[in-house]
Amino acid sequence: MQAATEKITVGSQVWVADPSVAWIDGEMLKIDGTEAEIRTSDGKKVSCSYAPISIFILSTNFTISSEKKAGCQLCACKLIEFMDAIQSFNQFQLLTSLTFRHIYNVVTKLSKVYPKEMDYPDGGVDDMTKLSYLHEPGVLHNLAIRYERDKLYTYTGNILIAVNPFQSLPHLYDAHMMEKYKGAEFGDLSPHVFAIAEIAFREMVNGGKSNSILVSGESGAGKTETTKMLMRYLAHVGGHKGTEGRTVEQQVLESNPVLEAFGNAKTVRNNNSSRFGKFVEIQFDKRGRISGAAIRTYLLERSRVCQISDPERNYHCFYLLCAAPPEEVKKYKLGDPTSFHYLNQSNCYELVGVNDAHDYLATRRAMDTIGISQKEQDAIFRVVASILHLGNLEFAKGEEIDSAILKDEKSKFHLQVTAELLMCDLHALEDSLLKRLMVTPEEVIKRSLDPQGATFSRDSLAKTLYSRLFDW
């Protein structure tokens, strides 16, 4: 990003970097070679924590209380010198009043200064190609202005920029809104995710070629929700009746809660963060009706199965299963999430506004809709439960050197339950955790593992089980 320095003169309105708000506007006071002096329009937004070498405090006034009622004024003093000056007045007791003038002068490199848009609409512009200066502060300012007016979407040519509102806005995505954008020309209506879906759909139908929509952004940007809205719109415009009373579009849409249950988790930034990448392919016939769908997943965060930290959670499905109906909890020999090692590493067990018991039933219904049989569902949740029990295995030193054994009766119980849920031999499972096989051309060697090695083996098995389940 290059600053348009040739357009900046003394008196110009400009943008300058600020540590607290990213960019702050101001007036160019002086240009001296490659240096510029700028007065900000709102001094309160310039923090005294700004780099001392680049900030000068002019006419900064402060008073101190003392027996002598001394008053002092400090002028043109660098911040670090100002702090030293404060310390020198300790002999007059503590400072009881410290007052700054609220207009500061910021000195920065001219290459870090950008011209500010002058003829700027009050509500911003809906397409940022209309901006005279398409630089970072100009883009961020335009997005902020629109966001303050509840305008979440902004175009940059044929690219849609979405700002996550972090709240539910059903009126913005209801059937009426979908009908409004159906058949509309791109740019005729306000920027919206439905407009992007509509143009991709029309290009596919009219041109007879596949189209792609790339949804990208940092963690918490709203990629998951945006993808769901795209799928909803495409299901709306291309929907038709399927077999067995289920519509094809229903099956496409109900894949979302299933994927979210097993692939999403609470992170620091996002209560429903996707911990994997996905490629969603929605297939249409020649008349533009949905005929099927395929979802490919990539790069699942395997480590989360065994290791989490405050205030994050493990994958949703673990908490959903713990909140299942009593007969389900009893069948899988589960209990409170606090009793499982893979969940109690964090103190976050519940999400505000989320009912895990309700979501468990919703996930089961979604599985029914997309055609997962009851037998397959039972197998899925047996694996999920087995991972929780597996995580509660603890190991102690064995009698032999560098060997391990199950620590106590509690660990033996969880091992037995794990074997029952996985429908495998108890002794074979125990052996796989406590020993390692080394295969040579001549023979197969079994080597005992110490407690640390057995714990690593336990976590590796848990991650492999979950990863294979998710891929299935």
Dist CA 318 CA 341 (whole Å) = 12
Torsion sign across C-alpha atoms 216, 221, 224, 225: negative
Which H/E stretch holds residue 455?
A: helix 451-471
Whether residue 221 is annotated as binding a ligand: the answer is: yes
The label of the residue with tokens 């043109």 reads 76
Whether residue 40 is annotated as binding a ligand: the answer is: no
**Surface-to-core class of residue 418, CB atoms within 10 Å of its CB (0-12 exposed, 13-18 middle, 19+ buried):** buried
Whether residue 88 is annotated as binding a ligand: the answer is: no
Dist CA 98 CA 145 (whole Å) = 34
Are 221 and 273 spatial neighbours (Cβ–Cβ below 8 Å)? Answer: no
From 225, 18, 15, 47, select the one nearest 139 (Cα to Cα).
Answer: 15
Distances (CA, A) of 219 to 19, 270, 273: 22, 7, 7
First to last CA, the chain: 45
From 221, 227, 229, 253, select the one nearest 239 (Cα to Cα).
Answer: 253
Whether residue 123 is annotated as binding a ligand: the answer is: no
Composition of the chain by helix, strand, coil, percent to 5: 40, 20, 40
Instruction: Name the token pair of 335.
Output: 């209990």
Whether residue 223 is annotated as binding a ligand: the answer is: yes
Residues contacting residue 451 through CB under 8 Å, at least 6 positions apart? 395, 396, 397, 404
Torsion sign across C-alpha atoms 257, 463, 217, 291: negative
Q: What are phi and psi of 335, to 5 degrees?
A: -165, -150
Long-range contacts of 458-463 (CB under 8 A, 24+ apart): 458/390, 458/391, 458/393, 458/395, 458/433, 459/305, 459/306, 459/307, 459/391, 461/390, 461/432, 461/433, 462/305, 462/306, 462/342, 462/387, 462/390, 462/391, 463/302, 463/303, 463/305, 463/306
Whether residue 220 is annotated as binding a ligand: the answer is: yes
Dist CA 32 CA 290 (whole Å) = 64
Q: What are phi and psi of 85, to 5 degrees?
A: -65, -40
Binding site residues, as ranges?
217-224
**Per the annotation, where are the binding residues for ATP?**
217-224
